[in-house]
């Protein structure tokens, strides 16, 4: 089961109770969503959205389980009984930027809270075989949903210009040696098409030499994923559409994991007149949670309330 990041803080700000409706717009493994649902018995509902067909299918199976689920986040443990949530959990495979249309189609209102957890689920990283991680030898694809998307990481690496690659690695990954890496990619692809993750890893190591650090791998892979899935533009559209469907006094919670995402969220909150900012500074996980869940390390949580 996916380990939800900052679960206690999410629940504290949402204050889930009977009759309230919530949307987990990036439901993933369902850690946050199932905990929220367990606190809205007997008639609160949750709409779960995810671009991954596999994530939606896995949650559909959980709805029919008989055993009690235990979700852990830091020192907090939530118990979820599937039989009490199965008729209150609505699952949709789509992009959260389409949240207005999804809500209308499912007649889901009023909406008391919306959660956007922008991190990749552990299942997606470890089991998708789409090249999201440099720890495994896989084809460099990185599409969240191959059925609806055309652009792949392989296409970017073999077709983008040196200048375009440099910009992507710098803006989306924060990589200081972006020019050096891009230059080596263009050089190496003339000899052999870049298709596999291990090829890219070797190229990055070769380009950096004594300056190499594993963080550069993470930054380049992150940058490619963001470009493939148009993540930052999707986020901008998703934030605007989320606020449009949120009920007055409803809250929007966003969990971001890198500076580009957090900057967009911060600016949106500041520039939106009918949104009251409840977190002057982003909330971050404590040492205990980071120790138990390393993917929480870079998480930042921001909360706004619609006026």
Q: What is the pLDDT of residues 260-274, one digit of tens each?
A: 999 999 999 999 999
- Can you give the pLDDT at residue 75? 46
**Whole-number percent of the chain with pLDDT over 90:** 77
CA dihedral 57, 61, 63, 68 (to 10 degrees): -130
Q: Residue 24's beta-bridge partner residues?
A: 48, 115
Q: Tokens 């040696």, residue?
A: 177
DSSP 3-state assignment of 91?
strand
Sign of CA dihedral 103, 108, 109, 113: negative
Q: Span 189-218, mean pLDDT? A: 97
Taking the C-alpha atoms of residue 144 and residue 138, their distance in angstroms, rounded to an integer, is 15
CA distance 265 to 234: 12
Quote the pLDDT of residue 184.
98
* Of 52-61, 229-238, 288-297, highest mean pLDDT: 229-238
Alpha carbons 277 and 306: distance in angstroms, whole number:
9
Whether residue 208 is predicted with pLDDT greater than 80 in this model: the reply is yes
pLDDT at 301: 98
Q: How confident is the model at residue 200 (pLDDT cuts 50, 70, 90)?
A: very high
Q: Which of 189, 204, 198 is nearest to 158 (CA)?
A: 189
Q: Say what the pLDDT of residue 72 is.
A: 56
**Dist. CA 54–CA 251, nearest whole Å:** 28
What's the pTM value of the predicted model, to 2 decimals? 0.90
What pLDDT does residue 97 have?
A: 96
Average pLDDT, the chain: 92
Q: Going from the N-terminus, what domains does the chain have, and what CATH number goes with each?
A: 7-117+231-306 (3.40.50.150), 129-229 (1.10.150.170)
Which phi and psi angles does 221 have, rounded to 5°?
Answer: -65, -40
Tell the burial category of 94 from Cβ atoms under 10 Å away from its Cβ (0-12, 13-18, 19+).
middle
Q: Which residues pair with 93 in a beta bridge?
A: 50
For 121-176, the pLDDT digits (tens) are: 766 777 778 999 999 999 999 998 898 899 999 999 999 999 999 999 999 999 99
DSSP secondary structure of 70-82:
EEEETTEEEEE-G
Q: Which of 238, 121, 221, 133 is nearest to 181 (CA)?
A: 221
Which positions ≥6 away from 68 have C-beta within 8 Å? 79, 80, 81, 82
Q: Residues 57-75: what's their mean pLDDT?
A: 70
């Amino acid at each position: 089961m996916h380990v939800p990041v900052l679960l206690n803080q999410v629940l504290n700000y949402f204050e889930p109770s009977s009759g309230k409706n919530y949307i987990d717009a990036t439901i993933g493994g369902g850690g946050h969503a199932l905990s929220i649902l367990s606190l809205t018995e007997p008639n609160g509902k949750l709409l779960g959205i995810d671009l991954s067909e596999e994530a939606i299918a896995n949650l559909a199976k959980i709805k029919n389980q008989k055993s009690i689920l235990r979700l852990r986040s830091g020192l907090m443990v939530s118990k979820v009984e599937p039989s009490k949530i199965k008729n209150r959990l609505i699952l949709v495979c789509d992009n959260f930027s389409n949240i207005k249309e999804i809500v209308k189609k499912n007649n889901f209102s009023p909406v008391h809270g919306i959660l956007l957890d922008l991190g990749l689920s552990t299942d997606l990283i470890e089991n998708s075989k789409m090249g999201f991680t440099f720890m495994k030898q896989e084809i460099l694809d990185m599409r969240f949903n191959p059925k609806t998307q055309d652009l792949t990481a392989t296409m970017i690496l073999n077709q983008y210009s040196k200048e375009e690659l440099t910009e992507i690695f710098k803006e989306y990954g924060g990589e200081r040696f972006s020019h050096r890496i891009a230059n080596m990619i263009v050089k190496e692809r003339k000899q052999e098409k870049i298709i596999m993750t291990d090829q890219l890893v070797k190229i990055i190591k070769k380009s950096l030499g004594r300056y190499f650090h594993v963080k550069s791998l993470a930054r380049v892979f992150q940058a490619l994923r963001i470009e493939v899935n148009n993540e930052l533009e999707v986020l901008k559209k998703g934030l605007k559409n989320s606020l449009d469907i949120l009920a007055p006094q409803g809250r929007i919670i966003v969990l971001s994991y890198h500076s580009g995402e957090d900057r967009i969220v911060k600016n949106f909150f500041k520039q939106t007149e009918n949104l009251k900012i409840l977190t002057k500074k982003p909330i971050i996980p404590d040492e205990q949670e980071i120790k138990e869940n390393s993917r929480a390390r870079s998480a930042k949580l921001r909360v706004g309330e619609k006026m």
